[in-house]
Structure 1
């Protein structure tokens, strides 16, 4: 198994061309993936193969898609205050599916805490309530975008306080105790499982793409009955392979690991080699 997992951020809009707008990039990338004869499969299926629950053939010649942070730009068509109308990620996926007649699926890793998102809406967007969770259950029911965990509060540097015990913010590497991990990871699973029942969260993406030895080697593998996750993803630029540690699965990030369609095409070719 060699499956590239591509990550996009719907809040990444600073213009209206590929290099500075993840919405434009996603729309172009979907067509590039299709032209190259690759399928798009759910991220959960990649984990199923990794864990031996389904055969490798179910992800042969496939790519998986993920989105980070879970704002309205994942779901709604929005009027950006500087860059004008933007097709939401969900609409881009639907357009592609209609255009090509193929199945498409993505996983949105969401920041779970309502209080944290309300503040992030002020500090990272423009304070119009664009980071609420009112679309998550609709997304889960439709089946186009799965909702999974990006932690409780991202230990985000713009928050006045986070659950990290010493307030060492702006990194996830400081989540290195059972209490902090439970607050960031198990608490997020609990909230999502209640809000999106009967769906059960099972995948996690490390904020900032950052992990540490405690999370990878102790908390996640040894406390699975508490957090109930099956796998976790960082942002190492490699395809997911059968030999990977389930708590340290890689993803390629748009704008960081590729910046134009030609770079993505080379990345995909290398991943499939």
Structure 2
């Protein structure tokens, strides 16, 4: 198994070209993936293979796609205050599938806390109510997107208060006790499971791509009955392989690990060349 997981942030809109807009990049990248003869598979399928529950052939010559943060831009078409109308990520996926007939799926890792999202909508977006969860149930039922956890509150530095016991914000490395880990991870899973039943949250993407040694070595492996996660994803730029660490699986991030279609092309060649 050698599967690149590509990550996009729908809030990344500062212009209307590839380098400044993850919506433009996603639309172009889907077609590049298709031209290269690569398949798109659900992230859960990659985890199934990693854990021995499915054959590696199910993810051969494939990529998986993830979105982080879970704002309205993942789902809705919106008129951006400075960059104009933006096709939501879900619409971009539908457009691609309708054009090519190819299967497409993505996983949206969402910040779960309603209070945190309401504040982040004001501090990180335009304050127009674009970080609500009104679309999560519809997305999960349609099957185009799977909703998974990006933690309870991201321990985000703009929040007046987070789950971190000492209010050391802006990093996830300070989530390093059972209390803090449970508040960020299990509480998020419980909330999602209540909203999205019968879907059960089983994956998490680390905020900032960071995880403390306590999380990786203690909380996740020894408290599985409580948090119920199967795997977690970071941002190390590498494909997922059988040897990848289950609690910190790698992902490539648009805008950080590639900035042009040509760079993605070379990344995909390198990431899948052993297949």
- The alignment status of 1:49 with 2:49, answered yes or no, reads yes
Q: Does 1:84 align with 2:84?
A: yes
Equivalent residue for 1:136?
136
Cα distance between partner residues in 1 of 2:20 and 2:173: 28
- 1:126 positional shift: 1.1
C-alpha distance after superposition, 1:151-199 (max 9, x if no partner): 0000000001101000000000000000000000000000000010010
Q: Unpaired runs of 5+ in structure 1?
A: none
Q: How does 1:69-148 map to 2 (within 5 A)?
A: 69-148=69-148
- Name 1:231's counterpart in structure 2: 231
List per-residue Cα deviations over 1:121-178 (Å, max 9, x = no partner): 0000011100000000000000000000000000000001101000000000000000
Paired with 2:245 and 2:140, the residues of 1 have a C-alpha distance of: 27
Matches within 5 A, 1:1-273: 1-273=1-273
Q: Secondary structure at the match of 1:183?
A: helix
Which whole-Å CA distance do the structure 2 matches of 1:248 and 1:130 have between them? 29
Taking structure 2 as the reference length, the TM-score comes to 0.99
Deviation at 1:244, TM superposition (A): 1.1
Cα distance, 1:5 vs. partner? 0.1
Give the alignment's TM-score, normalised by structure 1.
Answer: 1.00
Per-residue deviation at 1:240? 0.2
Q: Which is further off, 213-222 or 147-156?
A: 213-222
Distance 2:43 2:203 in 1: 9
CA distance in structure 2 between the partners assigned to 1:109 and 1:144 by the alignment: 14
Distance 2:201 2:163 in 1: 20
Displaced runs of 4 or more, over 6 A = none
Q: What is the CA–CA distance in structure 2 between the aligned matches of 1:77 and 1:35, rounded to whole Å?
A: 26
**2:157 alignment partner, SS class:** coil
